[in-house]
Amino acid sequence: MTARTVLAGPDGVACATYVRGTRDGLPLADRLRPRDGAAPHVVAAAAVDTFPGWLVAVHPGPLGDALLAAGATLRRHAHVMRLDLARVPPRPPAPAPPGVTVAALDPRELPAGLGEPNLAAYPAGHPDARPGETAASALAELQRIADGLVTGPLHPATRMAIGADASPLGAVFVNDRPASGPWITDIFRRPGPATRGLGSLLLDHAVAAVRDVGGIQVGLAVTDGNPAQTLYVDRGFVVLESALTLLLPG
């Protein structure tokens, strides 16, 4: 069981507990929870004083509202989902479109062109848009995922879609997340009519590959408002919990 750290209020009395971690290169107070009887505004004030510039993850509700009122900025509202492969067998992947190949991905050196479809998959207005991102920085982050530096070692279920001209069209990155097992860290495709349906094809390939090596479940987190959540529900994923990631002032 993950150890929890105590957060003390202004009076020195414990008012909440959390799990210390990192996310997006910042310190993280994960799963911040009030102790019995602690008022949300007291916990929020203690968090702002104790964690300047930190990320804090909480369930939606009074504590999240109090943190926002205390000056926190919403970074992400996400839903953790899981597919139980004993309850919902994987859907056999459909044939790939003409000229498209779905293949395993070599994590040692990603194709130089993989950053471009990743960047294009999250344009302005998308819930997961990344202001200031470039194809080069997107590729660098994918390499960190492939190197196991983000959510754990790369899982062999990771797949990439390649066009007839050998250019990358999309990919699904699956990692072995500590205490969670196979985890879809990112799944994306180049936008456009020619690649419609490629996301579901990549998902089906990845889930089937997890099952083929003895996996019993697959997890992921999807941002609230991301239309991909409809696909995940269709494939049998269920929401386990929802969380807000907030950036504290400082």
159-208 residue pLDDT tens = 999 999 999 999 999 999 988 899 999 999 999 998 999 999 999 999 99
* Best CA proximity match to 135, nearest among 110, 154, 153, 157: 110
How many residues in the chain? 250
pLDDT value at position 202? 98
Residue 1 pLDDT > 70, yes or no? no
- Contact by Cβ (8 Å): 33, 16: yes
d(CA 176, CA 164): 31
Share of the chain above pLDDT 90, in %: 88
Residue 10 pLDDT > 90, yes or no? no
Residue 229 pLDDT > 70, yes or no? yes
pLDDT value at position 62? 97
pLDDT value at position 130? 86
User: pTM, whole model, 2 decimals?
Assistant: 0.89
pLDDT value at position 71? 97
pLDDT value at position 88? 95
* Best CA proximity match to 157, nearest among 111, 218, 97, 109: 218
Q: Which CATH class is domain 89-234?
A: alpha beta
d(CA 46, CA 181): 34
- Predicted confidence (pLDDT) per residue in 148-162, tens digit: 999 999 999 999 999
- Predicted confidence (pLDDT) per residue in 42-78, tens digit: 999 999 999 999 999 999 999 999 999 999 999 999 9
- Specify which residues 8 forms β-bridges with: 14
Residue 111 pLDDT > 80, yes or no? yes
- Per-chain mean pLDDT for the chain: 95
What residues does each domain of the chain span?
5-79, 89-234
* Element housing 135 (H / E): helix 135-146
